[in-house]
Each structure stands twice: as C-alpha cells, then as structure tokens.
A and B are shown apart, each in its own frame.
Chain A
Amino acid sequence: MDGYDKLVPTPTAETQPYWDGLRDGRLRLQRCADCGKVRHYPRPVCDSCWSMNVEWMDAAGHGTVHSWTVTHYAFHPGFKGELPYILLTVDLPEGVRMNARARGIDASALRIGLPVKIAFDRVKDDLTLPVFEAT
C-alpha cells in the first residue's frame, strides 16, 4: 500500500502511452497514422477513415476552458479532504478536449474561453495526473 486512497486508472495496451507520457511530463495524444485526425480518449480505430494505424504526438500543452463544474460533495471518500475542487473541460488546439482538475485558479475567474496550460501532478510513484493552471 502506498497510502493513495483515490480511484486509479487501469491502463490498457492502447492507453499506456498516454499515462507514460504524463509520467514523463508530456501530454501525448493519438493521431491517425493515415489521415492525421487527432483523437482522444485513446482507442483502436480512427472514426474518420477507420484506419487502425496510430501514432502518438506531443500536444502543445495549452487550451481554453469549454465548461466546468465546482464539486462540493465527495462521491468517493478519497476526495473528502479536497473539497471544493474545480473540474475543467478544456478545448485543446489539436481539436480534442480533455478533463482535468484546475490548480491555482479561482472559481470566480472561470469563463468560456479562459486560457489554461497543462501541468503535471505526480500523485504517487507510478501515477501522474494532468492539471490545468492559469497562463
């Protein structure tokens, strides 16, 4: 036991490069190796050309707020000590969105289009989660 009491991901062969990237301080996204369409979350087939050939790219690491929620209730006991916390839905310039906690952003500052940048929160030895900070 490492004392970490929150939900943890169970990566698959298809998603492991994403988590490995976070561990290394990189936000990596899947891109279709045939038509070039970027997709997220990682999956086996391109929904545009149905190719199963995939490559990984480094994302620019910034984006803008698409929507958000401020959670005041812990639906899992591991989050009780962190309430309230902000969950952001962020548009990335690569054309996909991602969800991550906000760090150091005041809820009153939130608006659609707010620029944010990625940061990396190493929550335990083998798990790094993405977070967004103000630019």
Chain B
Amino acid sequence: MSMYEAGAITGVGETKYLRGTDRSALSFQLEASLNAIRDAGLMPSDIDGLIPYGHGAVAEDFITNFGIKDLRFSATTPMGGASAVAAIQCALAVIQAGICKHVLISLGRTGYSGGRIGTRVQQMPQFKVIGEFEMPLGAIAPAQLYAPMARRHMELYGTTSRQLAEIAVTTRYHASLQSNATMKNPITIEDHQSSRMISDPLRLLDCSLESDGGAAVVISAPDRARDLAKRPIMVMGVAEGHPDSPSAITQRPDLTTLGLAKAAPKAFAMAGLTPADIDVAEVYDCFTYIVMCQLEDLGFCKKGEGGGFVQDGALGLNGRLPVNTHGGLLSQAHMAGMNHIVELARQLRGEAEAQVPDAEIGLVTGYGDMGDGALAIMRRG
C-alpha cells in the first residue's frame, strides 16, 4: 500500500527569525504552530495529531495551550535535522490509517540564545558512542565530525572549496530577497574563501547559523484538505533512510554517502517521478558540503559530480535546479529544516518571496544525527 498523496500540507507558519531573544523556545513553537493552523483556516482545537521536534514542546503543552479535547496521536521522530521531513512520513501513515485528520509538525528553539551546538550534541543519547570514543580526542561538534566526509570527497573526486562556496553564495543571495532572514548581506566566493577556517575543509561560511524562532506545518487528510483556506500541497512521495554506522561516521563503509541515498529511490518511486521532474528543491544545509552530497544521493548527478553540478549559479532561481530559495539554514535561520518545508509549500502555492516561476513539483530533504536522511516530494494541488 503506497502513501502516494495520503496527505497534504494545508498550513505553514513561522515566527520572526532572530539572533538574540529572551523568549522561550516553547513560546516560539506555539506561535509558529498557531500561524500554521490559522494559515490552513483551522482552529487550534482541530489538531488531532502532534509530531513535535524532539527536545522541545510535548503533547501536554499543546493540549493545555490549544484546548485540544481529542488528541489521537503523539510521537517524535528522533533524527536530528531529518526529523521534520521524517515527521511527514509519520503523519501520512497515521492519516492513512484513519487515526488523524490534521497533524501538526512543529519546532521552536533558542539555538542562538540558549545552549550552543557543541554542548547540545554531547547531551544527545544517540551520540553516547562518539561521546566516549571521539569527543575526548577533540572531535566534538558536527563541523569536526563532518569535515572528514568532505575531505574524503575532495580527495577522491577533486571537489574544491570554491565549489562549496558557490552554495554559500547562492543561498545568501536567496536570503537577501527575504523579509524574514537573519543574514541578508550578499557575499562573494572570495568572502567565503577568506572566512576563517573552522575545521578544514569547512570554513565559517560553510557552516549554518544558530538561530532563535519557530516554524510549523499542518498535514491534513486529502478529503479535508480540499475545503481549507489555501491550495493544498499534495505529498506524492516520502521516505526516510538511515546510513550504516549511523552514529559513528568514522566506521561508515562509505564516508561520502548519506542515509538519504537509501530513501531517495523509494520516495521517487512512490511519486512516480525522477529528479528531472523537480522544479525546486529545499535541501537541508547544515553545511555546504551536505547540500552537495545530498544532490548526489538524490540522483541529480552521479556520486563525485556534485562539485561540478553546483557551479556557475546552477542552484540559483534561474539555474538548472533552484535550491534553498528561502536562504536555508546557512542564511535564513537554523530551524532544523522545518523552514525548508514551509518554503517548499509556499513555492508550490506560488506565494514565495523569491518565487521560482511556474514551480509545480518540488522536494524537501532533511539530514541529521550524523547521517540520517529523509525526503518528501510534493506537487501543487
């Protein structure tokens, strides 16, 4: 039984994205959720399923604040930055099973004003292995743990830092077109090349932001979606994938392949599409290299050809594959990919601030927890 078009995005919401706040992550998460529910034309009490991002608000918070009387499903999808897109698969499953009609997927965080990333990683249970064997050596933060993947790709395939810079530059330009982005000053490849080295080959401008804010989406059953406020965005294909040696990158058979490589063929098959059908892609961008690697794992080009694929403005609004049209985690805000889902829905509705002309079919990916991946392929309903 396929989950093809078993659900649709009916509402999207965000808060103002910030670098500095005295508000709580919970208040951001609830505000973004209310915005998404209103966008759909629903009442908060209509929500009957919840898949909040882990380490944040729990079902009890929503029941209490929204006056939900008949919550039928609550779960988390603990895959780090892949959680939000993996939650779409989970939402479709419970909608198709007849359990829920309107599932809320939401995130709120104080990533800038609260605990920094190095500290957060050490506290995550899925990283107890690298906590014991790698962090004492000084391999602590994602930038250090992912850098050997990028280095190996460079050594095997000739990928260059200037090619990674293309991703940072294009993404920043897209952010400059947004009203709700935290880093809007355009940058050049030379700016990237002169930004300080964090963990070779990753420079500062290869790294995503730490941000405060919230984002949320509502996924509804198709028979309900048609009667709501906005044009529904149908989910045509969705899948998640977990790499071999999921926590310890060191032990992964192929350092240059992510969990997404296992998920992509499943989602494309469910959708009945190929990468050539995609008009716009919102690709999880915790680091520039991770974008390039995912483009390979999605099948937009062969393994090793990602550097050439992203060159010459190929990911721009008028390029061969517009990517991260909202500015992504690199330049809009780090909302763990929830903002990528919001942006894809807006693109396919035709209401994005940096609109890809005639975008009808798009995809969104998530990446997290050292290699987990998820993707969803959607069309304008």
Contact = CB atoms under 8 A, between A and B. Distances in A.
Contacts of B58: none
A37 interface: no
Interface string B274-310: 0000000000000000000000000000000000000
A68 B255 CA distance: 11
Nearest to B155: A112
Contacts of A97: 250-251
A100 interface: yes
A71 interface: yes
A101 B151 CA distance: 16
A11 B136 CA distance: 12
B138 A87 contact: yes
Nearest to B253: A97
Contacts of B141: 75
A74 to B, nearest CB: 9
Interface string B124-156: 000001011111111111011001110110011
Contacts of B140: 7, 75-76, 79
Interface stretch (B36-44, B178-186, B192-200, B349-357): B192-200
Interface in A10-52: 10-12, 15, 40-41, 43
Interface centre among B147, B196, B199 (most CB of A within 10 A): B199
B74 interface: no
Interface in A95-135: 96-101, 107, 111-112, 127, 129-130
A70 to B, nearest CB: 4
B199 A71 contact: yes
Interface residues of A, number: 39
A99 B136 contact: no
B136 A6 contact: yes
Contacts of A8: 136
Given A41-B248, A87-B144, A87-B148, A67 B139 contact: no
Contacts of A64: none
B138 A71 contact: yes
A12 B133 CA distance: 12
A73 B250 contact: no
A82 B138 contact: yes
A101 B132 contact: no
B148 A68 contact: yes
A72 B198 contact: yes
B45 interface: no
B76 interface: no
Contacts of B255: 66-67, 89
Nearest to B122: A7
Contacts of A9: 131-133, 136
Interface of B: 118, 122, 129, 131-141, 143-144, 147-149, 151-152, 155-156, 196-202, 248, 250-251, 255
Closest 3 CB pairs of A and B: A69-B147, A67-B148, A75-B118
18 contacts: A7-B136, A41-B251, A68-B148, A70-B200, A71-B198, A71-B200, A72-B199, A73-B196, A79-B138, A79-B140, A82-B138, A87-B137, A87-B139, A99-B137, A99-B139, A100-B137, A111-B155, A129-B137
